Structure 1
Amino acid sequence: MALGSKKLRVYVWFTLPALLLYIGFFFYPALMGLNYSLTNWDGMARTYRYIGLSNYAAIFKDERFLHALGFTFKYTLIVVVAKLAIALGLALLLTSRMRFRSFFRSIYFFPAVLSLITIGLIFNEIFFTILPVIGEALGIEPLSRNILGNKDTALYGILIANIWHGVAVPMVIFMAGLSSVPKDLHEAATIDGAGKRQRFFSITLPFLIPMLNVNLVLLIKGGLTVFDSIVAMTDGGPGTSTESIGFLIYRHGMLENKFGYATAESIFVFAMIAIISYVQMKWLNKQEVGQQ
């Protein structure tokens, strides 16, 4: 009993710092945010007034927020599908028997070490300076215009930069999953006459479901909270055409002094991401090998 009590005290002392940090930097700020979302605080005044659920009710009547929500969902859908497809294709390629495999792995992972702000500034310069010059020299009119300067094409400029930057991590996760696929199953399927496509969908893909689950959570969360690249590339423009939810929350809270309202928006986004992630994980968990 004494030994058990001593072990328990050791566990408590080792856990306590992490627990205190979690409470201080996550749990307490979350509770304070929930409190502020029920007020009309502007983020600067010493006093504020409680207005109940008025901020939450106003969210669904705010056309600017609804537009940002639509833009964010469209962006997320495209970026998730594109990143998953490219990452899986690269993972299959880089785990095959190819020459200079380690070199290409390093090359494809390189964008992940750069920040999205840096990537955004680089692509901003490419779209503004380099591509128009090339387009004019080759006589290609669409290429001679800055893609970020048109509200109909600015989204795709942001997507190009984010996809180039964000493929590396899902690719590495898929590569880790591919290394766990039993080779004897592939060999047995090959002997039975199964082609590459049949082996991929019947053997490889089911074993990749856990990695697909992780990647989906990360990519959906990253898509719904996109902020850095928009700040660096378009600042929400032209007009408000590329305002994401995260960027709009920043504007409402920091630039327009609607801190209570912005906090309500952020809590709504948190709840939305939590629900989407839960549903997605529950569905994909059922598709795992041995779960059916």
Structure 2
Amino acid sequence: MTTTEERVKPPVDTPPVKRRGIASRTPRTFYWMVLPAFALFFLFHTVPVLQGIFYSFTDSPGYGPYNFVGWANYKALFSDDRVRHSYLFTFQFAIVATILVNVIALSIAVALNSRIKFKTSLRAVYFVPQILSIIVIGYVFQYLFTFSIPAIAKAMGNEKFSSSILADPSLAWIAIVILAVWQAAAFNIILYIAGLQTVPPELYEAASLDGASAWRKFRSITFPMISAFFTINMVLALKGFLQVFDHVIALTGGGPGTATESVSVLIYKGGFQGGEFGYQMANSVIFMIVIILFALVQLRVLQRREVS
């Protein structure tokens, strides 16, 4: 006869052997999935960065023996007029191109998001520049700026643009901006369209009932609702334009003289063609730090504006 304690005693569960086995295998599976990507990133990104930092303290020409020079390369950078000019040109180009590409991309995205015909096809057309090679398109633009536009200007009696602006030190950078904005706007347009699709249409309907104008709707509804996408586009655009290289190589090669020589082009020319490998590695390290600081500050400021 069973007692009361035996009747109310809960049954003893068997230990979850299988569950513990699955739980113990899950982290290992996760690590094995991440390990190949981590190894490739470390091998092709982290190791070259560490090697570059190492060579920045040497006088290596890129081959053969070298000597350690300590901080001499970094000190020389701050007194180099060519380096200073390359940074000035790069910042000027990046700021102008970032503003233009976001203004143009946002305007086109708003137009495409409105009720117009063939907007799906137009999205595909506007994305075409993003998938084209910059070098190939750069040579097409070079032909336009060198032959087509001067011929048209000459036929119209415009003497200022009857010669190629690529040969004018004060105007050549404008051609690079035009090419960069034309190509980069495609990606920004797609991001802005994705952001516009997250805006509830009820907000526009309520604003219309209140008699709000199109500009009022954009300023009070559209832009605040897509501010996160604006932040992403601004940060990515500025980072990409600071690293401008292909556009300059295809259009001017850094000329006339050094008028359009960006930091990336200077590093390439000096490090791989001018025997200044160690010196330009120091320039690369400084440039990397500058880009990181610009991105962090820009992200901080824009995110603070989103909260406000």
> TM > 0.5 between the two?
yes
Which of 153, 174, 179 is the equivalent residue of 1:135? 153
**1:36 partnered with 2:55:** yes
Which of 114, 119, 123 is the equivalent residue of 2:132? 114
Matched length: 289
8 Å contact from structure 1 (residues 206, 287) kept in 2: no
Tell me which residue corresponds to 1:126: 144
Helix, strand or coil: the match of 1:8? helix
* Pairwise CA distance, 1:192: 2.8
Return 262-271 or 107-116, whichever deviates more.
107-116
Q: Partners of 1:104 and 1:214 in 2: how far apart?
A: 23
Tell me which residue corresponds to 2:17: none
Q: Partners of 1:286 and 1:234 in 2: how far apart?
A: 39
Tell me which residue corresponds to 1:73: 91
In the alignment, structure 2 segments of 5+ residues that lack a partner are 1-19
TM-score (norm 2): 0.90
Residues 1-292 of structure 1 mapped to structure 2, 5 A cutoff: 1-45=20-64, 47-288=65-306, 291-292=307-308
Q: Partners of 1:222 and 1:172 in 2: how far apart?
A: 17
TM-score (norm 1): 0.95
Q: Partners of 2:67 and 2:225 in 1: how far apart?
A: 54
Tell me which residue corresponds to 2:14: none
* Pairwise CA distance, 1:107: 2.2
* Pairwise CA distance, 1:113: 1.4
Helix, strand or coil: the match of 2:58? coil
* Pairwise CA distance, 1:286: 2.0
- Please tell me the root mean square deviation across aligned C-alpha atoms, in Å: 1.3
* Pairwise CA distance, 1:266: 1.0
Letter in 2 for 1:39: T
* Pairwise CA distance, 1:264: 0.9
* Pairwise CA distance, 1:97: 0.4
Return 89-98 or 110-119, whichever deviates more.
110-119
Structure 1 consecutive aligned stretches of length 4 or more whose deviation exceeds 6 Å: none
Question: Deviations along 1:125-145, whole A, 9 cap, x unmatched?
Answer: 111111222222222212311
